[in-house]
Amino acid sequence: MATKKQSKRPLVGIVMGSDSDHPIMAEAAKVLEDFGVPHEVLVASAHRSPARTQKYVRQAGKRGIQVLIAGAGGAAHLAGVIAAETISPVIGVPIDSSALKGLDSLLSTAQMPGGIPVATMAIGKAGAKNAGLLAVQILAIRNSALSKKLQQFKKDQASAVEKKSRKVEKQHGKITSS
């Protein structure tokens, strides 16, 4: 069922409700690639292919998947349906694919009843990127190499802000406290 072939056993499963979600969910896959985390990517819909979704999630844990990322738009039940079938952490990404621009997906993904947690990210690409990062952070709890990579990522991100600030300061004059 997995669509992405990798040499190592995948640790993260990225599921999306439709191939139209792929340009957004590719952001999560990119983060995992950057951190060298083996993962798989597939389309399975909570509404259009419920049996496929259930089958995938039930087998995922047995195959070594430790974290699941689910992206869906509209009446977005995918993350919740996946969370109902697993004890692994589930990260939900609301996709802005409907007339309501993702507010519907955000609420459908976040407003889970007590007992079935879904870690819900921001709407769209930022949410997908953060889903990838959160998956890395979860795996890093027991993986010191990943932990070091995350620390370096934070440092690089902070340096990038300083670099951008220097450009802006050049135009407007350097502030004394930076």
Closest contact distance (angstroms) between CB of 75 and ligand RP5 is: 8
Question: Binding ligand RP5 by CB under 6 A: which of 25, 31, 72, 139?
Answer: 72
Number of residues that bind ligand RP5 (CB under 6 A): 10
Nearest CB to ligand RP5, comparing residues 17 and 127? 17
With residue 123 as reference, give the H or E element that holds it: none
Q: Buried b / exposed e across 102-140, counting CB within 10 Å, b at 16+?
A: bebbbebbbebeeeeebbbbebbbebbbbbbbbbbebbb
For the chain, give the number of residues.
178
- The answer to whether the beta carbons of residues 95 and 102 sit under 8 Å apart is yes
To ligand RP5, the closest distance from the beta carbon of 55 in angstroms equals 18
- Return the residues of window 90-109 that contact ligand RP5 according to CB under 6 A: 95, 97
Binding-residue pattern over the window 6 to 35 for ligand RP5, x denoting contact by CB under 6 A:
-----------xx-xx--------------
Nearer Cβ to ligand RP5 (11/74): 74
Nearest to 89, CA basis, from 68, 74, 112, 65: 68
Q: Which stretch binds ligand RP5 (CB under 6 A): 67-75, 81-89, 128-136, 151-159?
A: 67-75
Nearest to 35 by CA among 161, 121, 136, 115: 136
